[in-house]
Amino acid sequence: MDKQEVFLGELLDINPNIDIGLIEKAYKTAEEMHEGQLRKSGEAYLIHPVEVAKILADLGMDERTIVAGLLHDAVEDTPYSLKDVEKDFGAEVALLVGGVTKLGSLVFESREERQAENLRKMFLAMSKDIRVLIIKLADRLHNLRTINYMNEDQIVYKCRETLEIYAPLAGRLGIYAIKFELEDIALKYLDPTSYYELVDAVKIKRDERRTSIEKVIDEIKEALDEISVRYDITGRSKHFYSIYNKMKYQHKQLDEIFDLTAVRILVDTVKDCYTVLGMVHTMWKPIPGRFKDYIAMPKSNRYQSIHTTVIGDSGRPFEIQIRTRAMHRVAEYGIAAHWKYKEGATGDQEEVKLAWLRQTLEWNRDMNDPREFMETLKMDLFSNQVFVFTPKGDVMELPAGSTPLDFAFKIHTDIGAKCVGAKVNGKMVPIDYVLENGEIVDILTSNNAKGPSIDWLQIAKSSNARSKIRQWLKRQDKSQNIDKGKEMLEKAVKRKGYDTHDFIRNAWMGKIAKAMNFASVDDMYTSISYGGVLLSKVVGRLLDLYETETEKDAKRDDAALIDRTNKRNATVRKTPPGDVRVAGVDNLLIRLAKCCSPVPGDEIIGFITKGRGLTVHRKDCSNIAGLPEAERGRLMEVEWNAGDREGSYDAEIYIRSDDRKGLFSDISRRCVDMDVNISGVNLRTNSDSTVTILMTLSIANTNQMEKVLRMLRQIESVTEVYRARAL
Q: 156 pLDDT exceeds 70?
A: yes
Distances (CA, A) of 501 to 480, 482, 490: 21, 18, 9
- Give the closest residue to 618 by CA, choosing from 640, 648, 598, 594: 598
Q: 565 pLDDT exceeds 60?
A: no
- The DSSP-derived string for 468-498 is HHHHHHHHHHHHHHHHHHHHHHHHHHHHTT-
Q: pLDDT band at residue 503, thresholds of 50, 70 and 90?
A: low
List, in sequence order, the alpha helices (H) in 496-609: 500-503, 506-515, 521-529, 535-568
- Strand-pair partners of 591: 615
**pLDDT of res. 510:** 79
Q: Please give the residue that has the higher pLDDT: either 523 or 63.
A: 63
**Residue 134 CB-half CA count within 13 A:** 32
**pLDDT of res. 348:** 37
List, in sequence order, the alpha helices (H) in 205-260: 206-227, 240-249
Mean pLDDT calculated for residue range 295-313: 79
Mean pLDDT calculated for residue range 388-407: 83
**Residue 391 CB-half CA count within 13 A:** 10
What is the distance between the alpha carbons of residues 307 and 167, in angstroms, rounded to a whole number? 23
**pLDDT of res. 390:** 85
**pLDDT of res. 479:** 64
Mean pLDDT calculated for residue range 525-544: 71
Q: Please give the residue that has the higher pLDDT: either 279 or 614.
A: 279
**Residue 651 CB-half CA count within 13 A:** 26
What is the distance between the alpha carbons of residues 627 and 726, in angstroms, rounded to a whole number? 14
Mean pLDDT calculated for residue range 636-662: 79
Distances (CA, A) of 659 to 546, 655, 663, 683, 689: 19, 12, 7, 11, 6
Distances (CA, A) of 79 to 73, 82, 83: 11, 10, 11
**pLDDT of res. 323:** 93
What is the distance between the alpha carbons of residues 274 and 167, in angstroms, rounded to a whole number? 31
E strands of 164-305, at which residues? Answer: 232-237, 261-267, 285-293
Model confidence, pTM:
0.45
Range in 13-17, 111-115, 440-444, 667-671 with the lowest mean pLDDT: 111-115
What is the distance between the alpha carbons of residues 231 and 260, in angstroms, rounded to a whole number? 23
Distances (CA, A) of 127 to 48, 122, 139, 568: 26, 9, 19, 64
Question: Where is 63: in which H helix or E strand?
Answer: helix 63-71
448, amino acid identity: N
Mean pLDDT calculated for residue range 613-637: 83
Residue 680: CB atoms within 10 A of its CB come to 17
Distances (CA, A) of 710 to 653, 671, 717: 12, 12, 14
- What strand order describes the sheet that includes 677-685? 677-685, 690-699, 649-658, 718-723
For residue 470, the Cα-to-chain-centroid distance in whole angstroms is 31
Range in 324-338, 386-400, 676-690 with the lowest mean pLDDT: 324-338
What is the distance between the alpha carbons of residues 280 and 263, in angstroms, rounded to a whole number? 11
Q: Please give the residue that has the higher pLDDT: either 535 or 106.
A: 535
Mean pLDDT calculated for residue range 46-68: 89
**pLDDT of res. 379:** 33
**pLDDT of res. 381:** 35
Active-site residues: which are they?
Answer: 76-77
**pLDDT of res. 237:** 66
How many percent of the chain have pLDDT more than 70?
74
Q: How many helices (H) and strands (E) does the chain have?
A: 30, 20
- Rounded (5°) CA angle 123-127-128: 125
Q: pLDDT band at residue 172, thresholds of 50, 70 and 90?
A: low
For 44, the 3-state DSSP assignment is strand
What is the distance between the alpha carbons of residues 140 and 284, in angstroms, rounded to a whole number? 42
**Residue 339 CB-half CA count within 13 A:** 23
Backbone conformation region of residue 210, classed left if phi is above 0, alpha if psi is from -120 to 50, else beta? alpha
**pLDDT of res. 310:** 87
Mean pLDDT calculated for residue range 447-466: 80
Q: pLDDT band at residue 130, thresholds of 50, 70 and 90?
A: confident
405, amino acid identity: L
Backbone conformation region of residue 289, classed left if phi is above 0, alpha if psi is from -120 to 50, else beta? left
**pLDDT of res. 324:** 92
Q: pLDDT band at residue 189, thresholds of 50, 70 and 90?
A: very high
Mean pLDDT score across all residues of the chain: 76
Pair 319, 262: CB distance under 8 Å: yes
> What domains can be seen in the chain, in order of their start residue?
3-200 (1.10.3210.10), 202-338 (3.30.460.10), 385-461 (3.10.20.30), 473-549 (no CATH), 580-723 (3.30.70.260)
Q: 695 pLDDT exceeds 70?
A: yes
Range in 253-257, 296-300, 449-453 with the lowest mean pLDDT: 253-257
Pair 488, 537: CB distance under 8 Å: no
Give the long-range contacts of residues 163-167, CB within 8 A, separation 24 or more. Answer: 163/187, 163/190, 165/119, 165/395, 166/136, 166/137, 166/140
What is the distance between the alpha carbons of residues 467 and 463, in angstroms, rounded to a whole number? 6
Q: pLDDT band at residue 343, thresholds of 50, 70 and 90?
A: very low
Q: pLDDT band at residue 407, thresholds of 50, 70 and 90?
A: very high
Mean pLDDT calculated for residue range 374-380: 35
- Give the closest residue to 700 by CA, choosing from 583, 601, 609, 558: 601
**Residue 613 CB-half CA count within 13 A:** 13
- Strand-pair partners of 232: 266
Q: pLDDT band at residue 474, thresholds of 50, 70 and 90?
A: low
For 461, the 3-state DSSP assignment is coil
What is the distance between the alpha carbons of residues 130 and 335, in angstroms, rounded to a whole number? 9
User: Between the ranges 274-278, 358-362, 591-595, 700-704, where is the mean pLDDT highest?
Assistant: 274-278
The burial of 419, by beta-carbon neighbours within 10 Å (0-12 exposed, 13-18 middle, 19 or more buried), is given as: buried
φ and ψ of 3, to 5 deg: -65, -35
Range in 20-24, 655-659, 698-702 with the lowest mean pLDDT: 698-702
Show Cβ contacts of residue 634 under 8 Å, excluding neighbours closer than 6 positions: 607, 608, 609
- Strand-pair partners of 653: 695, 723
Range in 211-220, 279-288, 496-505, 520-529 with the lowest mean pLDDT: 496-505
Range in 94-98, 103-107, 429-433 with the lowest mean pLDDT: 103-107
How many percent of the chain have pLDDT more than 90?
10
**pLDDT of res. 115:** 56
